[in-house]
Amino acid sequence: MSGRKISFVHCADLHLDSPFSGLSDISPSLGAFLRKATFRAFENAVTFALKKGADFFLVSGDVYDSEDRSVRAQVFFLEQLRRLSGGGIPSFIAAGNHDSLSGWEADRDFPPLAFRFGPGVESVPLVLGGEMAGTVHGFSYPVRDVEENVALRFAGRKGEGVNIALLHCNVGGRKGHENYAPCSLDDLRAAGMDYWALGHVHGAEVLCRDPLVVYPGTIQGRNIRETGKKGVFYVTLSAGEPGCAEFVPCDVVRWRSGDISIDGMERDEEFFQAVSDLKETVRRENGRLPALLRLSISGRGKIHGLLRRPGFLRGPGGLLETVNEGEEDRPDFIFTEEIFEVTAPPLDLDSLAAGSHFAGDFLKEVRAFRQGGNLRDGLKNILRERGILDRIPSREVLDVIDSLSDEDAELLLDRGTFSALSGLLEGIDGL
């Protein structure tokens, strides 16, 4: 590789034409906006590459949401590749499990500067400005289920100049993702590449700096599990110097979660103001980009009675309808897609835990469980001891538990405690 610095855009997991999950009772105008979100996010990525004058463009799998890809998604994808080709930017595409080569696809030509890798690891020359700059290596899934460690096939392919590899894979057995093309970080390092352009994991992450091993994540969040900024990496490489990978948001709407505690609230007005403040905080933090908000209400206090009024949260004219009123007319809308409420009456839990009744015994057990260490391990032990894992898809459930943050685990315990306590207190006089 010469001393010339090269630059490129790396994206993956476009899932074009993917439906947004978990939404109900959404207005027609917002529904139309969301149906276009994955398309607009990819269009933003291509526009960014053209404005930056990137040397080339990488797509590391899952262009489409399913093997039976829509005509609209296929037409749009080729249109965007033609934009890149028309701007003199080559593109390299590796198919993943959702868009494997075995899926249906219209018989159409790719633009002249676009190259999609085949079902075996292929190595193609990287020619920039009429000069050989290096090699791009890649692999496309021939079928959806690829369980082989494909990373091992890249060994011995390194050539002169910069070497870049595209692979849709699960590095280190990431939880919450199907274990397709499983490999280790050491497997990737051993191939001697300068940059690994990965796909499959939906969160943006730089796994290694030398060499650069990067997951860009999905380009547009499509459900509450894909919160926060989504986009691509803009990468610069030059001989003898560490590469630089800069994350660039390209999404057009973001999933957000927000929490409100009713602890200490004395008046209904305080609660309504807290809801309004949360929405405006999300609007400001999103940089005026629209958001889909999931609201969780927890804690104990006087407002518990208000929240438990019939129809207050989700009934006609209730809180959910009210907070969304007028949002569809704003370009920076904050649409509250769901409200979860796990509150309790204003009780002194310390005094209650000291009582000689079932609720007191229950709270003592909860405290002991909380003090016992890792809440995720404790939850898994409970499921095992009660034989619940024998009656449900245990692997999926354990993966979900492992993916919980410490804060999520604490919130889950609080919700369960308040929910159980509400039922137990019905049988205690004077409480």
Judge whether 303 and 274 are in contact, CB under 8 Å.
Answer: no
- Chunked into runs of 10 residues, the chain (431 residues) has average pLDDT values of 80 93 76 93 98 98 90 97 98 96 93 97 95 96 96 94 96 88 97 96 96 97 94 89 92 96 95 98 93 94 94 95 93 95 80 73 80 79 79 76 79 74 58 46
**pLDDT at site 1:** 43
What are the φ and ψ backbone dihedral angles of 78, each rounded to 5 degrees?
-65, -35
Provide the H-helix boundaries in 229-343.
Answer: 268-285, 303-307, 319-324
φ, ψ dihedrals at 153, nearest 5° = -75, -15
DSSP state of 344: E
Whole-number Å distance between alpha carbons of 384 and 283: 42
State the Cα angle at 412 between 347 and 228, rounded to 5°.
125
- What ranges do the domains of the chain cover? 6-249, 253-346, 348-431
What pLDDT score does 24 carry?
65
Which structure tokens are listed for 151?
A: 């990373």
Q: Which residues contact 277 (CB under 8 A, 6 or more apart)?
A: none
CA 85 to each of CA 49, 64, 165, 230, 270: distance values in angstroms, whole numbers, following the listed order: 11, 20, 21, 24, 56
- The span from the CA of 63 to the CA of 79, in Å, is 13
Q: How many CB atoms within 10 Å of residue 294?
A: 17
87: helix, coil or strand? coil
User: From CA 254, how far away is CA 337, in angstroms rounded?
Assistant: 12
Distance separating alpha carbons of residues 309 and 81, to the nearest angstrom = 54
Cβ-Cβ contacts under 8 Å for 381 (sequence gap 6 or more):
none
Find, among 210, 268, 269, the residue nearest to 244 by Cα: 210
Rounded to 5°, angle at Cα 298 from 295 and 300: 150
8 Å CB contact between 403 and 175: yes
Q: Considering only CA atoms, which of 209, 225, 376 is closest in space to residue 217? A: 225
At the fourth CATH level, the homologous superfamily of domain 6-249 is: Metallo-dependent phosphatases (3.60.21.10)
Please tell me the distance from the alpha carbon of residue 366 to that of residue 379, in angstroms, as a whole number: 12
- pLDDT, position 416: 74
* C-alpha span between 150 and 187 (Å, rounded): 10
Mapped onto helix, strand or coil, the DSSP state of residue 58 is: strand
CA dihedral over 423, 428, 429, 431, signed as positive or negative: negative
